[in-house]
Chains A and B, each alone.
Chain A
Amino acid sequence: MSAVPAAPPSASAEATAPLGVVRTYAARIGALCLVEIQRLRHDRSELYTRAIQPILWLVIFGGTFNRLHAIPTGGLPYIDFLAPGVLAQSALFISIFYGIQIIWERDAGILAKLLVTPTPRTALISGKAFAAGIRAFSQVVVVLVVSALLGVALTTDPLKLAAAALAVWLATAFFSCLSMSIAGIVLKRERLMGIGQAIMMPLFFASNALYPIALMPGWLQAVAKVNPLSYEVDALRGLLLGTPAHLLLDFAVLAVSAVAGILVAASLLDRLAR
């Protein structure tokens, strides 16, 4: 056994010096994203099983509706129109259950240990929210590759692809915060599963992922317009397919939702800490 890493007795109050605010947030987000990468590296099975659903949507749903020409897509083949929607959906399905992890960590005592590190609560939630995005990136790759194989005319501009990844990252941060907020309220895995199941399809259908908002009845249009998923899909279509999009508005909505989500989830962390 080697010597114990003890603080020198003459050390001032603190064993490690605090960083500035920005560096603290960056360091915490980095640390938690790295853990997510390590988890994925040790167990890739989720990457494969998660890939099945978007592939089915693209191949079966997309393949069929592509022949129907029932939905006005502004001249795009339907499968092209659908691809960004499926991308946003698969990221949504990952993030809507992300709160399960925080409940599990609470039950296992891991959350208590994380909360006893010098990490502000908003920084901890930010770290987890953006770590959820790491998981969603695997979906980005799957959906883009499958779409390209199905003949979707995707952009090859690396800058636009990076911007699309950013849109997915921000939206995933928001939806995982929604999930962690629900976790903070219900505190039980089973209840979170139930609520997640209940809201995930409505969030998907009340967006422009499958059809343009203009086709919806008035009340549904109102819902779709406050649904961050619509802005994510709009940004993805604009970036990946070059359709007319409101990129500034889209990114503003996604960024504001992500920040709001982080603040709400962090304020509910107290309930999980108790």
Chain B
Amino acid sequence: MSAEPAAVRCEGLVYAFGDHRAVDGIDLEVHPGEMFGLLGPNGAGKTTTIRILTTLLRVPQGVAAVLGHDVARERMTVRRLIGYVPQQLSAEGALTGRENAMLFARLFDVPRAERTERVDRALGATGMLEHADRMVSTYSGGMVRRLELAQALVNRPRVLILDEPTIGLDPIARASVWDLIAELREQSGMTVLLTTHYMDEAEGLCDRVALMHRGTLRAVGSPADLSAEIGPGATLDDVFRRHAADLSDDEARGLRDVRSTRRTAIRLG
């Protein structure tokens, strides 16, 4: 490794909602260019961690930095470096895909002369160019996710931060979104930090993963190394169960069956 700063670094990060410590002292380093998965059941603290790193939440205790820039003190710089796709399917249904992407090109100060080309390239890279002039309210969930990735790409981010990128999508759309993320990353060399509770999907895709449970990181490593520690044929699911011995039945179910718990597409209609 060179002297290049970590893409994402957390040290002793703590965040509490009242008495509940959603993030309870995590240390984490994501290397430049890697695809890093933050895994765990609902309520593990993944989204809170992401919301701190994206400057949405304050940093009450500990340090968070993106490419060496302190998230608490250099918010505007950090925002220019990252692309963020939240959990919800969050494009504006009352606008076209292109208008949605163009808004973000403007908000990221893409110079006027480059805007059209940048937006077209971002829409092209996510396969949304042919649907760009349709209203987003007519899109499927998978198409909205692709558009959101395009919205994040117009800024040419160095670190792409995706919170549950496949939640609420059907299995076919899920697979195609994963393929797209892998392809985007391969072509651009961006660092990708994502959260998911689909352990099996993260297994084949991420260079390294961190297993998060009840606000703490239980294990960090490549999926292969983590599985090898447990034994031959072990999956990340097995690894997680080993490291989270205090996992309740509800939380265990939450690892697999989530489609019923969160409906995110309803607002777009």
Which residues of the other chain, A, contact B81 by a CB distance below 8 angstroms?
13-15
Residues of the A chain whose Cβ atoms lie less than 8 Å from the Cβ of B87: 109
Contact, CB under 8 Å: B157 / A14? no
Residues of B within 8 A of A118 (CB): 76, 79-80, 107-109
Residues of A within 8 A of B151 (CB): 113
Which A4-45 residues have a C-beta within 8 angstroms of B? 4-7, 9, 11, 13-19, 24, 27-28, 30-31, 34-35, 38-39, 42-43
Instruction: State A27–B107 Cα separation when bound (angstroms).
Output: 8
**Number of residues in A with C-beta < 8 Å to the partner?**
43
Q: Give residues of chain B (139-179) contacting chain A, Cβ–Cβ below 8 Å.
A: 148, 151, 153-158
Cβ distance B117 to chain A, nearest Cβ, rounded Å = 9
Let me know if B109 and A5 touch, CB within 8 A. Answer: no
Once A16-B155, A113-B151 are accepted as A-B contacts, the answer to whether A1 and B125 lie under 8 Å apart by CB is: yes
B110: CB under 8 A from chain A?
yes
**When chains A and B are docked, how far (Å) is the Cα of A30 from the Cα of B107?**
10
Answer yes or no: B36 CB below 8 A from chain A CBs.
Answer: no
The docked-state distance in angstroms from the alpha carbon of A112 to that of B96 is: 20
Determine whether the beta carbon of B121 is less than 8 Å from that of A2. Answer: yes
Cross-chain contact B153 with A5 (CB below 8 angstroms): yes
Please tell me if the beta carbons of A116 and B84 are within 8 angstroms of each other in the complex.
Answer: yes
The A interface is mostly helix, strand or loop, or mixed, namely: loop
Which A residues fall within an 8 A CB radius of B?
A: 1-7, 9, 11, 13-19, 24, 27-28, 30-31, 34-35, 38-39, 42-43, 104, 107-110, 112-120, 273-274
Interface pair A35/B127, CB less than 8 Å apart: no
Interface of chain B, helix or strand or loop or mixed? mixed
Interface size on B, residues (CB 8 A): 56
Known: A14-B80, A18-B80, A108-B88. A31 touches B153 (CB 8 A): no
In whole angstroms, how far apart are the Cα atoms of A50 and B187 in the complex?
49
In the complex, the answer to whether A43 meets B94 with C-beta atoms within 8 Å is yes
Chain B 176-220, CB within 8 Å of chain A: the 1/0 string? 000000011001111000000000000000000000000000000
Residue in contact with B99 in the complex, picked from A6, A27, A38, A110, CB distance below 8 Å:
A38
Alpha-carbon gap, A119 to B75, bound state (A): 10
